[in-house]
Amino acid sequence: MPKQARYDALIVWIFRNHYTRGLEAFEFERSEIEDAAKQLKIPLPKNLGDVIYSFRYRKLVPEEIRSKAGSNLEWVIEPAGQAVYRFRLTVPSRILPRPDLACIKIPDSTPEIIVAYAMNDEQALLAKLRYNRIVDIFLGITGYSLQNHLRTTVKGIGQIEIDELYVGVNRNGQQFIIPVQAKGGTDKLATIQTKQDLAFCRQKYPQLICRPISAQFLSGGVIAVFELTMEGEEVKVVDERHYKLVPSDQITVNELASYRNRSS
């Protein structure tokens, strides 16, 4: 059985084991993935966490689960403690780039040796954000990379990983903590990680202003960047920009003039 078909079968078994009509949330333990594999007599995935990751960032949950969501809602899998997860019915959780947004060209400052040896799309994206100071440009502050691939625990959530964490300051002396979510390849940005990042920042850096950033590679080398916030229980987009890193001689006089006329 292909890997994704196995993942579908496992998650459907867990959903069936808990769901009753009208239920909007329920929790399950990671060990239930092992129980499902035994009951279905299919090979157990080597990385149990990848089953959950797949449905958060790569693909939709199977149709049997989607059919229980109703219109304009979807089932998401949230962390709910150490090796505990929560299926919850919510508004759509994907962060999708606007197809009609103009692209801004920026001179590419990425060292060629970094481009040559980046191990994967996510690592390459984080490097481009860092070396081209895109966080600074996008937010209008001075930012400094504090740590990348930070694994930590958050009360009530469990273990999380933040792709990169920045600290920043503006001209008024206000200080910021900036968690960055980066996705490349076929992975999709999701509000679940933003909620986790915000919870971590409230717990660890309550004195700083948290400004979560999400970034994703688009076709043609374009980078979509979002600033996000929470309104009630929902994640909302504060701002979105699309940047393209190019040699400086590929930015024309007309393009510079058009940028000059744009509002900040």
pLDDT tens, N- to C-terminus, the chain (264 residues): 788 899 999 999 999 999 999 999 999 999 999 999 999 999 988 889 899 999 988 888 999 999 999 888 999 999 888 889 999 998 877 889 999 999 999 999 999 999 888 878 889 999 999 999 999 999 999 999 999 999 998 988 888 999 999 999 999 999 999 999 999 877 889 899 999 999 999 999 999 999 999 999 998 889 999 999 998 888 999 999 999 999 999 999 999 999 988 865
What pLDDT, on a 0 to 100 scale, did the predictor assign at position 263?
Answer: 64
Largest CA distance in the chain: 65
The token pair that represents 176 in the structure block: 């910021």
Q: What is the DSSP string of 75-127?
A: EEEEEEETTEEEEEEES--B----TTPPEEEEE----HHHHHH--SHHHHHHH
Residues 223, 183, 58: CA angle, nearest 5 degrees: 130
- Report the C-alpha gap between 74 and 92 in whole angstroms: 6
- What does the pLDDT read at residue 156? 84
Alpha helices for 132-213 (secondary structure H): 134-139, 191-204
129 close to 180: Cβ distance less than 8 angstroms? yes
| Cβ–Cβ under 8 Å, residues 197 and 163 | no
Residue type, position 173, single letter: G
pLDDT of residue 63: 94
User: Is residue 189 within 8 Å of 183, Cβ to Cβ?
Assistant: yes
**In what side-by-side order are the strands of the sheet with 25-29?**
25-29, 84-90, 74-81
